[in-house]
């Protein structure tokens, strides 16, 4: 009994002590797990600034891929035209070859009927390399002038046809490579844009509002920088105007006549007037496109990508620009940002993946990115460091 009484308190003590400890431990674990579950998304979830940067980077990468797509598409179009031309040429030469073969066949038939030189003619017609066989003096001596002309024509047509067939085959291989590049560039654009849309779709309403506020602040800073540039350009223009007036006055003083100075002024203004007229035409076209959507790879008239818009604008002014930003950047004279004039092309980023049309006062018209529309905007919309160069096409 004593032993039994000792065991019961012991058991009661164990239960009385361990149960609270286990319960506390369990509750603590649940609390920690709950905190971890709450903390993990917060730790892994990018900040709004990181999301903004990621989306901007994706749009830029999509822009770069778009220009690669444009280049591949242009190359594919040119290569397809070349292939079609070559195939047409091969078809025509094949017909000529068949005509020459028929004429040789008629000679062979005639010889067969007369029983003259049948083996030689038949062998000639069926040989893989007729010219080697023709070099044999005994056969050449048996050919009449007309027969010799037919043989020469056959050999020439066969050689030229084989050459054109090889060219067509090589061009088809190049076309296939261009088409593969086109598909790759298109896939890259689509993936970048899909990722950007996914990131934006995951934002809460509050985060979207904050993102809009950040964007507005960037636009205000860009507008401020544009105003600074406009002020600087106006000051430089005024200074240049005064220098020209002083030079004209000095010339009049030295010569005692204002006629030569007036003639010089008129002559120097002609190129500027011509250039200005073209630029005005390009700007008028670009302004008429404001509000139309950005669509990658588009060249109008209902939608544009960045280089498609600038190309179409200058085309309206009678100036032909290449299709892509990579080529447009070399299609004129490079000037400094402070010397930019209306109609100039403003290129952005180290990979030259974006372009806009300068309209003056630090502003431009451009097709910004997917989901946006052709609009006027500061050339500093993505910071001063994003400007690559300014080019004057005409």
Q: How far is CA 102 from the centre of its chain?
A: 51
Q: Which residues contact 75 (CB under 8 A, 6 or more apart)?
A: 178, 181
Catalytic residue among 60, 164, 354, 392: 354
Residue 294 has which token pair?
């950005």
DSSP assignments along 20-84, one per residue: HHHHHHHHHHHHHHHHHHHHHHHHHSPPHHHHHHHHHHHHHHHHHHHHHHHHHHHHHHHHHHHHH
Placement of tokens 């990722």 in the chain: 195
Nearest alpha carbon to residue 375 among 280, 287, 304: 287
State the alpha helices, DSSP H only, in 202-256. Answer: 205-255
- At a CB cut-off of 8 Å and minimum separation 6, what does 106 contact? none
Neighbours of 32 (CB within 10 A): 10
Q: pLDDT value at position 141?
A: 54
Looking at residue 139, what is its pLDDT?
A: 52
Handedness of CA 246, 251, 257, 262 (dihedral sign): negative
Residue identified by tokens 């690669």 is 68
Give the per-residue pLDDT at 15. Answer: 38
Q: Taking each helix axis from N to C terminus, what angle separates 48-114 and 306-316, rounded to the nearest 10 degrees?
A: 70
Per-residue model confidence (pLDDT) at position 168: 74
This model's pTM is above 0.75: no
Residue 358's DSSP bridge partners are: 364
Q: Centre a 10 Å sphere on the Cβ of residue 18 and count the other Cβ atoms it contains.
A: 10
Which are the contacts of 168, defined by CB distance < 8 A and separation ≥ 6? 83, 86, 87, 90
What is the model's pLDDT at position 216? 92
**Given 306, 312, 364, 374, the catalytic residue:** 306
Q: For the beta carbon of residue 169, count every other beta carbon within 10 angstroms.
A: 13
Tokens coding 243? 């220098």
Centroid of chain to Cα 356: 14
- Residue 299 CA neighbour count, 13 Å, CB half: 14
- Written as tens digits, the pLDDT of the chain (394 aa) is 444 444 444 444 433 434 444 334 433 443 443 443 444 444 567 788 888 888 888 888 888 888 988 888 888 888 788 878 878 877 877 777 777 777 667 766 666 665 554 455 555 555 556 656 555 544 555 556 666 676 676 677 777 777 777 877 777 788 788 788 888 888 888 898 888 888 888 888 888 898 889 889 999 999 999 999 999 999 988 888 899 988 888 888 877 654 444 444 433 333 455 678 999 999 999 999 999 999 989 999 999 999 999 999 999 999 999 999 999 999 999 999 999 999 999 999 999 999 999 999 999 999 999 889 999 999 999 999 999 999 999 6
Burial grade of 307 (CB within 10 A; 0-12, 13-18, 19 or more): buried
Based on the residue annotation, tell me whether 306 is a catalytic residue of this protein: yes
Catalytic residue among 75, 278, 366, 392: 366
Active-site annotation holds for 4: no
| Residue 355 CB contacts under 8 Å (≥ 6 apart), including other chains | 306, 307, 310, 325, 328, 329, 345, 346, 347, 348, 366
What pLDDT does 320 receive?
A: 96
Contacts 24+ apart (CB under 8 A), 366-371: 366/306, 366/309, 367/292, 367/294, 367/304, 367/305, 367/306, 367/308, 367/309, 368/294, 368/306, 369/59, 369/62, 369/63, 369/294, 370/59, 370/62, 370/193, 370/196, 370/294, 370/295, 370/296, 371/294
């Amino acid at each position: 009994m004593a032993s039994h009484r000792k065991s019961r308190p012991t058991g009661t003590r164990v239960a009385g002590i361990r149960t609270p400890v286990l319960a506390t431990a369990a509750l603590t674990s649940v609390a920690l797990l709950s905190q971890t579950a709450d903390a993990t998304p917060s730790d892994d979830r990018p900040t709004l600034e990181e999301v903004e940067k990621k989306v901007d980077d994706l749009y830029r990468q999509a822009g770069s891929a778009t220009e690669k797509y444009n280049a591949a598409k242009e190359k594919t179009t040119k290569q397809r035209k070349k292939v079609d031309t070559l195939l047409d040429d091969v078809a025509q030469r094949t017909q000529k070859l068949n005509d020459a073969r028929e004429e040789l066949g008629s000679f062979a038939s005639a010889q067969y009927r007369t029983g003259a030189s049948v083996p030689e003619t038949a062998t000639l017609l069926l040989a893989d390399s007729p010219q080697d066989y023709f070099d044999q003096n005994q056969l050449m001596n048996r050919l009449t002038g007309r027969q010799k002309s037919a043989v020469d024509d056959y050999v020439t047509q066969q050689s030229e046809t084989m050459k054109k067939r090889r060219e067509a085959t090589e061009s088809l291989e190049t076309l296939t490579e261009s088409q593969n590049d086109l598909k790759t560039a298109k896939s890259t654009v689509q993936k970048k844009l899909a990722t950007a849309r996914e990131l934006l779709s995951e934002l809460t309403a509050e985060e979207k509002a904050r993102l809009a506020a950040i964007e507005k602040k960037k636009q205000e800073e860009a507008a401020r920088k544009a105003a600074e540039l406009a002020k600087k350009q106006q000051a430089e223009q005024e200074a240049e105007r005064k220098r020209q007036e002083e030079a004209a006055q000095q010339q009049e003083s030295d010569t005692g006549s204002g006629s030569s100075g007036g003639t010089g002024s008129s002559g120097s203004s002609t190129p500027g007037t011509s250039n200005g007229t073209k630029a005005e035409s390009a700007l008028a076209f670009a302004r008429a496109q404001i509000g139309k959507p950005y669509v990658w790879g588009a060249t109008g008239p209902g939608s544009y990508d960045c280089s498609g818009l600038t190309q179409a604008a200058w085309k309206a002014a009678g100036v032909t620009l290449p299709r892509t930003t990579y080529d447009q950047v070399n299609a004129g004279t490079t000037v400094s940002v402070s010397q930019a004039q209306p109609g100039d092309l403003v290129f952005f980023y180290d990979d030259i993946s974006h372009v806009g049309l300068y309209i003056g006062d630090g502003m431009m018209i451009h097709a910004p990115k997917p989901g946006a529309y052709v609009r006027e905007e500061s050339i500093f919309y993505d910071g001063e460091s994003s400007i690559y160069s300014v080019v004057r096409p005409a």
